[in-house]
Structures are given as C-alpha cells and as structure tokens.
Amino acid sequence: GPGDHRRDDRTSAQIKQEFENLCRDSKYTEMLSSRQRLPAFSAKDEFLTLLDKNRVVVVVGETGCGKTTQLPQFILDSLIMSNQGSTASIVVTQPRRLSAISVAARVSAERIEDGSVGYAIRGESKQGKNTKLLFCTTGVVLRRLGSGDTLDNVSHIVVDEVHERSVDGDFLLLELRELLKKTSNIEGCPHVRNDQSRNVYQLLWRCSSFNYSWLHTHPVTDIYLEDIIPLISYRPSAPRTSRKESGEVLQAFREEHKSKGLDDASISAIQIISRSDRLDFQLIAEVVRHIITDPKNKRGGVLIFLPGVPEIRQCMDAMRTALPGGQADVFPHPSGKSSPPLMSPETSITIDDVIYVVDAGKVKETQYDPDTSMSRLVETYVTRAAGRQRRGRAGRTQPGFCYKLYTRKTEANMGKYPVPEILRVPLESISLTVKVMREEEDVKLFLKRAIDPPKVAAMEAAWTVLEELGAVDLNGKLTPLGRHISTLPVDLRLAKMLVLGTIFQCLGPVLTIAACLSSKPLFLTPMDKRDEASQARARFATAGSDLLTDLNAYDACNKMRAEGKSHGAVRTFCEENFISPNTIRDITTLRNDFIGSLADLGFIPLHSTPSTAALNTNSDNTNLIKAVVLGGLWPRVARVHLPKSAIKFDRVSAGTVQRENIAKEFKMFDLREGRVFLHPQSILFEVAQWKSPFLVYFHKHMTSKVFLRDATEIPLYALLLFGGPVSVNHVAGGLTIGTKESWIRLRAWPRIGVLVNQLRRLLDAQL
C-alpha cells in the first residue's frame, strides 16, 4: 500500500490526535470552508453510509462537483475518526500521469501538506511513511496486480474516470472484479438508477451500485446553429467540401426551417455549415464577437471547445482578425483531454467564471480497423454525453448559455456514449498484459468477459502480432522476451527494438529511433513551405532510412548543445532546418524514460545514460542498427519492385538504380496489403543505390492509397537474421523467410539456412 517500504509507526489514536490538530489549523479551516461549497459535500454522509454497507459503490456526478478531490478524503477522514487511521490506505487511480501529480498536489494542499498524500506514476513517485492517500496511474496499479500483489494492504481503491472507457480502466475493473470474487460474494442486489451506470457497471459487477446526480448547476440556455445564424447574419463564403445529400433531404430541410420563419439566406448558410466536413473558424469568431459585443449580454468568460491544438491556433487567428482593437484577450487553456481550451475575454478569469460555452461539436479520435490493422485519426461529432459535459461548463456560477455550432437534428443523430477504447485500438499490448498476469488462462476467453468484448478478428490479429514478435511461442506460451517487453512503457515493437539494441550494444541510436517513433514528427512541414522543408530534411538524409535521417538531425542538435552552443543558436538551427524543438525535447525525455525502464528491468546498470560507452560499442554500425530496427518491426516489410535491369535480387547481391527510375517504376508490395506506396516525404526517394529490394516500415496509413511511413532500406543479412523463421527449400536450393508469407525467397545454399537457424536459436536463447 502507500508507504509500502516504510511503515507508519503511529497508532490510530495518534493519527486521530494529529488530524484533530490539523482541523484546528486556520489554514485548514479556510481551505475547508471553500471545499464545503462543493456539491460533493452535501452528499458526504450518504456516500459514507453506502460505502459502509457495500463493498462497491459507483458514483456518478458532473465534472467539478468534487469526486476526485473530495471522496478519497471523506473516506480517509472517516477512517481516522473511527480509530482506523493506522490501517487506512486509499489508492486512487488516474488515467493520466499529469492528472495523478496535479490532483495529488491539490489534495495535499487541501490537507496543508500533512504528509498524508502522495503519488506514484511510472518511474516517479512521491510518498512517505505517513502516506494514506496515493494517487497513481491506472498502469501503476495494473502492474502491481501483474506482479502478483493482491492489494492486501489497500483498504480502499477508487477508480476514477471509468466513464472514459479506456482499455486500462476497463481492464482494471475486470481485474478488481476477479480479485473481489475471491474474497467476497459480490453478486446480487443490483441497484442502479442511472442509464450509463446500468450499461457499464451493472453488467460488470452485478453488484450494489449507486449514483448521485448531485451537481446543483444553474440553468443553461441552448442556442443551436439555426438560432445563431439569424442572430449574426453570417454567410459562409466559399462552398466547401461537403457530404452529398439527396435533393429530397435538402428540400425537406428547407421546408422544415421555413416553417420556423427562417429566411432563405439563413437556411442556405445553415445547410452549407452543417454539411461541411471542416470547422468554420470565421463562424466561431463571429459567434464570439456577437457574445462579447451584444450589450444585452452579461460580462463573463467564453469557453470554446475545439477538437485539437491546430484548430485552437486557427481559431485564435480568426478571432484576432474578427475582434480588432483589443476587444478580447484570447488564450488557449493548457490542453489535455479533460481540460479543454479556454478562450476568454478577460485575462484574469478562472474557469469558474465561464458563462458562455461555444461548442464546435467535434473531437478527434483514433479509429483502428482490425481487419486491416490500420489506424487513422478522424474528426467526428462528439457524443451527446460529451456535449452535455461541455454545456455544463456554462452554468457553474450563474445561469449560462451554450452556443452549439450544429443543428438540433445533428445533435439528435450524435452517438449517446463514446465507443469504448477497447473496440477502437490494436489489442496486442493488452493481450500481452493479460498473458503476463494470467499465464494459464486463454487470453481471448478472458477478454470476452470484458464490459464490451472486442471483436474476435481483433483479438486474433493481436495474437498473431505477439507470435511474430516472439512474445509468445506457437504453443501459446509466454516467452521471456514477452515478459520483458510487457513491462516497457512503449509500443511492443519498439520495446523489442530496445531489448535488441541493448544486447547488440548500439543502444544510443536505438533509443533515439524508438523515441522518434513515439513522438510527433521531428521535421515540420508547413503547408506553404513544403519544398523548403523537404530540402532541409534531405540535407540530413542518410543510409536510405527515414529513421536514421531523423537520428542524424537529432544528433546534430544534441551535438550543438554538448558543444555549449547557446540556446538561441540551437533554436535558429532548428528553425533553419524545419526541426521541431518541442519534438527534440520530447525525444530527449523519452530516451531517459526508456533507459530508466531498461535499468529497472535489470538489462543495464542503474544510472546508465544513452551515451554510456559500454552500451554503444556498435553504435557506428549502420547495418547493425538497421538489423535491430528490423528485429523490432518485422514483419512490416515491403518488397521494392525495381526495374529488372537495375537489380538482381534473386541472389544476395546489390544493385544500382537511377533516381528517375525509382520515381517511375517504384512498385512496392507489402506482406499483407499487396501494392503499397512510399509516403511522398520519405527520404528513400533519394536513394540511388539499393543494397537490397526490401524495406521495413513503422506506420502504414490508408488514405487514397496505402502509404508507408518511416521506412528503412534493409540489408539482406539483417533479413536473414531477424526476419522471422527461416526454412530451407532443398528442392529449389533456396531459403524462405517467414512462416505465413513466403514471398521472401532467397537463392542461397541450404547450408546457409542451417547456419542461420542455429544463429537464430542462439539469439532466441539470448532474448
């Protein structure tokens, strides 16, 4: 539990005494009086009574009512006051690292830093022997469960934000249910009032659960697109890309709005806006202008909900133009999933002063298609549940207004609740975690017990990936490699790459590559300066590899720092070369995270750094680095179909191709997809001399065609050594690489195949 290693040596009586002293502290009482204004306080007694009678309580309440910060304190205080302080140990999970830290800081401040509050996130924790309330990420608790901890020392566990339906959150609930089943009978007496809790929790727990709808908010007036347009007389300028609708639908739309007294111009405007696939920033700016210039309106904050950071930037630009003369101070709120962008007409305003909400109605969401194992980021309408949350922000302190940039009809067609993440993402990581935690169990059967069981195809695809990675063997048994990579906080392929990079002593560059692939693009490509940007990137081109090119650029920045160049000089260098300084910083952080995790695993000595000499004996060996990259990414391999005259690839041999020919005759075939295309920004278009007709890639995206990103040309020897099992084809006197796909055929002596297989067995033994 909290303070695991160091014991709280106080008795319950002493703890109670200290708490009573704290309660007399003037700072504490001051804090308390503001806490008492939160809606959660009015439900305190009811909550504690329910908790007393039930092992599981489900709490539902609007954002800001005090669930996260207050409920854990209610539990702790009541334990302390009933002389159970010495056994109190409350774990509160948070979906994100940042929220674990900031919530812990807030609660600690509310308790005047009395040492009872701590946090634990991967690689970082702050707790002492008196810690009773521990805020940690869901992942931390999952790993504790995974290492066999049955949470015997924990008196209460609070699982926060379960409605987000993240894979981790869903999985934690599943594990906790299993744990509870062992120790008590939680079946029976379902008692659920609220719809969503019925869906999610009753199915899962079949237990007594309760909800509060306890936020006393002020009324919020909804103003929909069809109400807004006549108010601001806005006419969208150019026709946009739009969805096709039949003449009848359009006609019906017109009739309906005409009957409500709307003029033709307004109806057209509404049609154009609501059929457009893109956000109309000018519209948003006009709405804000209307809000802050209409003399009938009250003064107060305007909170705008947008789908992402680029949209915030575009919206700010539009508002600066539309609101001249310092009418408004516009600033983006430090964003994150739960903290939306705040744009407010008064600088010193806090989020509590919001009276107006402008909801653009869109979110960005990664959608994954298990059938093609491809994901894409799409902008979709928010769910009605999320829309309600956004709207609720307007009525915190006084009656408010919500301007919805969509029609009533659109709202009626929005989904009710978000699609659970488990149905939207690849499942290899979660499958491996399940396997590690329940080695004897069938992972697919276990996942079928999830709140929303994933598709069978998705589970099978995930299992295949685990086999290909070597994380499980063909008998379904967990391998040592699988156990190792499950504990590294990164995509499983990159985790394997890190393990290989350690074994082959080229860790520095592999750390950078894995960090690059986990970050936003290193090179910026502004729309209006595409050519300049790609020329800049080409200056770093090396070794027929997008990854090694990025590595090259990162190293160049790093070298400048190491040589003591000024901050400004580095920044200028980045600007001139279209390198993102933010990504450079992210990569540096990630490299340190990764090396810390490898040290935790015991792979490398503690206190190693990315440049520790013993880890980098082979860091200059480009071919070896490429082999390690392939080892992680296999079987994401494509065969390049180069002109016959230019290359012979039926032998282990090299060929030369003219650049023009590549552009013309560059055909590629992927193991699974058939014809694929190299992303236009790939540095591989610069390669004049191909050493082999194979490349390995990280991302595959489907737009108009299937595009491969982050590609690396790979030497044939690397393919032999790291490219899946090798079978010897005696009849043809050749080798076949990979079990399921056989198009990688090399003519070679069967003896080489035998040798390669021996080497691979040695390697597997190492792993």
**Binding of ligand ADP at residue 61 (CB under 6 A)?**
yes
CB of 62 vs ligand ADP, minimal distance in Å: 7
Cα dist from 456 to 173, 433, 739, whole Å: 21, 18, 22
Q: How many CB atoms lie within 10 A of CB 469?
A: 23
Residue among 442, 429, 479 at smallest CA distance from 763:
479
The separation between the first and the last C-alpha atoms of the chain, rounded to the nearest angstrom, is 33
617 binds, among ligand ADP, Mg ion, none (CB under 5 to 8 A by kind): none
Cα dist from 216 to 68, 143, 219, 223, 434, whole Å: 17, 38, 10, 21, 41
> What mask, x for binding ligand ADP by CB under 6 A, covers residues 456 to 495?
----------------------------------------
Nearer to ligand ADP, 63 or 293 (CB): 63
φ/ψ region of 748 (left if φ > 0, alpha if ψ in -120 to 50, else beta) reads beta
**Range in contact with ligand ADP (rule: CB under 6 A) among 65-73, 416-424, 535-543, 604-612:** 65-73
Is the distance from CB of 488 to CB of 601 less than 8 angstroms? yes
**Binding of ligand ADP at residue 69 (CB under 6 A)?**
yes
**Binding of ligand ADP at residue 389 (CB under 6 A)?**
no
Nearer to ligand ADP, 66 or 387 (CB): 66
Is the distance from CB of 218 to CB of 398 less than 8 angstroms? yes
400 binds, among ligand ADP, Mg ion, none (CB under 5 to 8 A by kind): none
CB of 52 vs ligand ADP, minimal distance in Å: 21
Size of the site for ligand ADP (CB under 6 A): 11
CB of 4 vs Mg ion, minimal distance in Å: 25
Nearer to ligand ADP, 65 or 447 (CB): 65
In this structure, are strands 745-747 and 734-737 parallel, antiparallel, or unpaired?
Answer: antiparallel
The 3-state DSSP class for residue 702 equals strand
426 binds, among Mg ion, ligand ADP, none (CB under 5 to 8 A by kind): none
Cα–Cα distance between 218 and 392 in angstroms, integer? 9
Which one-letter DSSP state was computed for residue 652?
Answer: S
CB of 66 vs ligand ADP, minimal distance in Å: 4
CB of 69 vs Mg ion, minimal distance in Å: 7
**Range in contact with ligand ADP (rule: CB under 6 A) among 12-20, 64-72, 150-158, 256-264:** 64-72
> What mask, x for binding ligand ADP by CB under 6 A, covers residues 75 to 114?
-------------------------------x--------
**Binding of ligand ADP at residue 284 (CB under 6 A)?**
no
**Range in contact with ligand ADP (rule: CB under 6 A) among 62-70, 77-85, 271-279, 458-466:** 62-70
Interacting residue with ligand ADP among 15, 38, 291, 517 (CB under 6 A): 38
Q: How many CB atoms lie within 10 A of CB 378?
A: 10
Is the distance from CB of 454 to CB of 447 less than 8 angstroms? yes
Nearer to ligand ADP, 169 or 635 (CB): 169
Nearer to Mg ion, 417 or 669 (CB): 417
**Binding of ligand ADP at residue 217 (CB under 6 A)?**
no
**Range in contact with ligand ADP (rule: CB under 6 A) among 60-68, 136-144, 383-391, 599-607:** 60-68
66 binds, among Mg ion, ligand ADP, none (CB under 5 to 8 A by kind): ligand ADP
**Binding of ligand ADP at residue 150 (CB under 6 A)?**
no
Q: How many CB atoms lie within 10 A of CB 748?
A: 20
370 binds, among Mg ion, ligand ADP, none (CB under 5 to 8 A by kind): none
Cα–Cα distance between 359 and 506 in angstroms, integer? 49
Main-chain phi, psi angles of 30, to 5 degrees: -65, -50
267 binds, among ligand ADP, Mg ion, none (CB under 5 to 8 A by kind): none
Per-position b or e across 507-544, b if 16+ CB within 10 A of its CB: bbbbbbbbbbbbbeebbbeeeeeeeebbebbeebbebb
CB of 43 vs ligand ADP, minimal distance in Å: 11
Q: CB under 8 Å to 408, separation ≥6 — which residues?
A: 224, 226
**Binding of ligand ADP at residue 64 (CB under 6 A)?**
yes
Interacting residue with ligand ADP among 16, 19, 58, 67 (CB under 6 A): 67
Cα dist from 83 to 16, 158, 183, 738, whole Å: 7, 21, 24, 64
CB of 504 vs ligand ADP, minimal distance in Å: 46
69 binds, among ligand ADP, Mg ion, none (CB under 5 to 8 A by kind): ligand ADP
The 3-state DSSP class for residue 235 equals coil
**Binding of ligand ADP at residue 386 (CB under 6 A)?**
no
Cα–Cα distance between 639 and 643 in angstroms, integer? 13
> Rg of the chain's alpha carbons, rounded to an integer?
29
**Range in contact with ligand ADP (rule: CB under 6 A) among 57-65, 145-153, 323-331, 532-540:** 57-65
**Range in contact with ligand ADP (rule: CB under 6 A) among 63-71, 117-125, 284-292, 659-667:** 63-71
- Interactions with ligand ADP, residue window 704-723 (CB under 6 A): none
CB of 107 vs ligand ADP, minimal distance in Å: 9
Long-range contact set of residues 287-291: C-beta below 8 Å, sequence gap at least 24? 287/228, 287/232, 287/358, 287/403, 287/405, 288/319, 288/322, 288/323, 288/328, 288/343, 288/358, 289/232, 289/322, 289/323, 289/327, 290/228, 290/231, 290/232, 291/356, 291/358, 291/401, 291/403
585 binds, among Mg ion, ligand ADP, none (CB under 5 to 8 A by kind): none
> What mask, x for binding Mg ion by CB under 5 A, covers residues 44 to 73?
-----------------------xx-----
Cα–Cα distance between 557 and 550 in angstroms, integer? 11
Query: In this structure, what token pair is assigned to residue 69?
Result: 């910060």
Main-chain phi, psi angles of 166, to 5 degrees: -70, 160
Cα–Cα distance between 635 and 671 in angstroms, integer? 8
Q: In which residue are the tokens 């934690």 written?
A: 172
375 binds, among Mg ion, ligand ADP, none (CB under 5 to 8 A by kind): none
Residue among 718, 756, 759 at smallest CA distance from 735:
756
Residues that bind Mg ion (CB under 5 A): 67-68
Interacting residues toward ligand ADP by CB under 6 A: 38, 61, 63-70, 106
